[in-house]
Amino acid sequence: MRIIAIANQKGGCGKTTTAINLSSSLALKGQRVLLIDFDPQAHATMGLNVMPSDLEKCIYDVITPKQDEEVILDEILIPIKDTFDLAPSNITLSLLEQELTGLKGREDRLYNAIQGLVAEYDYVIIDCPPSIGHLCFNALRAADEVIIPIDMSLFSLRGVAKLTEIILMLNEKLEREIMSRALITMYDARTRYSETVLEKVKDEFEKHVFETVIRYNIRLRESVDFGQPVGDYDRHAIGHIDYENLADELIRSDAADTYNSLKPKGSAHDILQKTEDFIESGYRHVSTEYGYAEKEDTAYYSSGSSYSDMIEAIAANPSAYSFSDPEDNY
Number of residues that bind Mg ion (CB under 5 A): 3
| Residue selected from 8, 9, 16, 18 as contacting Mg ion according to rule CB under 5 A | 16
Residues between 4 and 33 that touch ligand ATP (CB under 6 A): 11-17
Select from Mg ion, ligand ATP, none the partner in contact with residue 227, using the beta carbon and a kind-dependent cut-off of 5 to 8 Å: none
Task: Tell me if 15 contacts Mg ion by CB under 5 A.
Answer: yes
Task: Tell me if 307 contacts ligand ATP by CB under 6 A.
Answer: no
Number of helices (H) and strands (E), helices first, in the chain?
A: 17, 7
What are the strands, taking DSSP E only, across 39-136? 78-81, 84-87, 123-127
| Residue selected from 179, 186, 197, 201 as contacting ligand ATP according to rule CB under 6 A | 186
| Residue selected from 130, 133, 159, 318 as contacting ligand ATP according to rule CB under 6 A | 130
Which x/- pattern over 42-71 shows residues binding Mg ion (rule: CB under 5 A)? -x----------------------------
Supply the DSSP symbol for 133.
Answer: S
Select from ligand ATP, Mg ion, none the partner in contact with residue 166, using the beta carbon and a kind-dependent cut-off of 5 to 8 Å: none
- Residue 70 class from Cβ within 10 Å (0-12 exposed, 13-18 middle, 19+ buried)? exposed
Which x/- pattern over 29-58 shows residues binding ligand ATP (rule: CB under 6 A)? ----------x-x-x---------------
- The sign of the CA dihedral 89, 237, 4, 185 is negative
Q: Mapping DSSP to helix (H, G, I), strand (E, B) and coil, where does residue 36 land?
A: strand
* Contact assessment for residue 270 and residue 251, using Cβ atoms and an 8 Å cutoff: no
Minimum Å distance from CB 100 to ligand ATP?
A: 20
Cα–Cα dist 310/49, whole Å: 30
Cα–Cα dist 175/78, whole Å: 34
| Site residues, Mg ion (CB under 5 A) | 15-16, 43
